[in-house]
Amino acid sequence: MAESEEISASDLTDSQRYWIQYSRQQCLNLPSGSVTGFEWKDYCPKVFRLIQELENISNEYYMMLICSDETLRKVSSSVRAGNMFLLSKDNRFVIRTLRKSEVRVLLEMLPDYYNHLRKFRNTVLNKLYGAHVVKPVGGAKVYFVVVANIFKSDLLMHRCYDLKGSLQGRKVEKMRFREKILHKESDLDFLFYLEPLVRHRLLKQIKYDCAFLEAAGVMDYSLMLGLHVKGSPQGLLDAGRSRSAGSQGSVDSSSSTDSRRMSCDSLSRSELYSHRSSASSFRDSIDMGSELSFGDQWLPNSSNNSSFGEEMSARGVHVPKNGTANISSEGSPKSRECYDVLLYFGIVDFFQNYSVIKRIEHAYKSLQFDRKMIAAVNPKAYSSRFQEFISDIFKADDTPSLPTELTNGCR
């Protein structure tokens, strides 16, 4: 079994090289002037194959998708590392170009990462399935990593976020993933309310994940989060798909808002009472120190194949911001909007160590901003701030921190 197989020191330095040459028949189907020969290299093939087996991924199937003509052409034509996201044909994998220094960080932490995956099967860390380099004839080497697609779903993502927990000193331009804009902290105007035991286990797992990243000396990672508004009319979904490029993936707050919005007063108190009573009785009998699992029967709409961040039910509460990119709990309860949402999320981009360049960036930006709140801080400070930020946006549904005006009408 892959879960019991250990890796050796030689596995971490092993690599495999290939030469890929298109046949004459394949060349006929390529655009004029296309490169037809590539040098391909796999890093640590055995280790990544074991990770693939943990996720029930066939290595043959994986290589067939990743070595496709489209992948070779688009990856080899990438201009800037980290600036390209490419989806596999089955929508399961995301290919992202990296700098050579980032690949080095990835490979250094790979054995501990593999052991972390084996120990915590419901980790929130994005799954890494392979690290490769491709060099077209006459071209430059391009390094890239293959990771799990966090947003793999047939549902429309009404909004997507890339959240680090700090906006100060962070570039404000937004990145695009497929046809969606990845919004940042300055655009976040939602709080997400979870069943208390779900939240407890989620935050505990994130604590373990951040401890691993801190020990690896990694910082600058983020929470990629997407939300789908449940019960959206089909017409709205179709309109969202056709508008996605122009509307930048945002939720349309003008037309059709009433059809998607749940007034906080409209929730059924009897249903909620029944739900909380059953959840409370189960909590009385569960061992809070048990291994973290997202497949337990107490979780709403859960299955044995579910993990943290995969179609997680929550109540999204739209709240105003106080003008400083922070979510404010002030405001009239009548102005609140409650959405029944599905969340998709994971911790991504954990390839940056606290290098000399990051230390210089920290020193420079400390002259302009609060040094504790800028993005470039040491791994320990980054981990602590990141966990605090996650705790602030994921709330417990019956915690005393829930605003009083909300509990009066949204129970």
DSSP assignment of 273-293 equals HHHHHHHHHHHHHS-TTSPP-
Predicted pLDDT at 137: 82
* Nearest by Cα to 317 from 334, 344, 336: 336
- Taking only the tens of pLDDT, the chain with its 411 residues reads 444 577 888 888 899 998 877 766 667 666 666 767 788 999 999 999 999 999 999 999 999 999 877 778 788 777 666 667 888 989 999 999 999 999 999 999 999 999 999 999 999 999 999 999 998 887 889 999 999 999 999 899 999 999 998 766 555 555 565 567 888 888 898 999 999 999 999 999 999 999 999 999 999 999 999 999 988 654 343 444 333 333 333 334 333 444 344 434 333 333 333 344 444 443 444 343 344 544 443 344 444 445 788 999 999 998 876 544 455 555 444 457 888 999 999 999 999 988 767 767 756 666 666 666 667 789 999 999 999 999 999 999 874 444 544 444 443
Q: In the beta sheet, which residues pair with residue 262?
A: 338
Edge-to-edge strand ranges of the sheet holding 394-396: 175-177, 180-183, 159-163, 222-229, 337-348, 312-318, 190-194, 394-396
The DSSP letter of residue 262 is B
Please answer whether residues 186 and 172 qualify as being in contact, where contact means their C-beta atoms are separated by less than 8 angstroms.
yes
- Which letter does DSSP use for residue 321 in this model? B
Task: Please give the Cα distance from 167 to 370 (Å, whole number).
Answer: 11
Q: Are residues 296 and 198 in contact, defined by beta-carbon separation less than 8 angstroms? A: no
CB 146 within 8 A of CB 132: yes
For 4-65, give the DSSP string: G----HHHHH-EEEEEEE--HHHHHTSPTT---EEEEEEESHHHHHHHHHHTT--HHHHHHH
The encoded tokens of residue 404 equal: 């009083």
What pTM does this model have? 0.76
pLDDT at 294: 45
pLDDT at site 399: 46
Given this model, what pLDDT does residue 167 score? 64
Strands 190-194 and 394-396, bridge-based pairing: parallel
CB-hemisphere CA count at 13 Å for 131?
Answer: 25
User: How far, CA to CA in Å, does 131 sit from each of 66, 93, 134, 184?
Assistant: 11, 13, 10, 27
- Quote the pLDDT of residue 372: 64
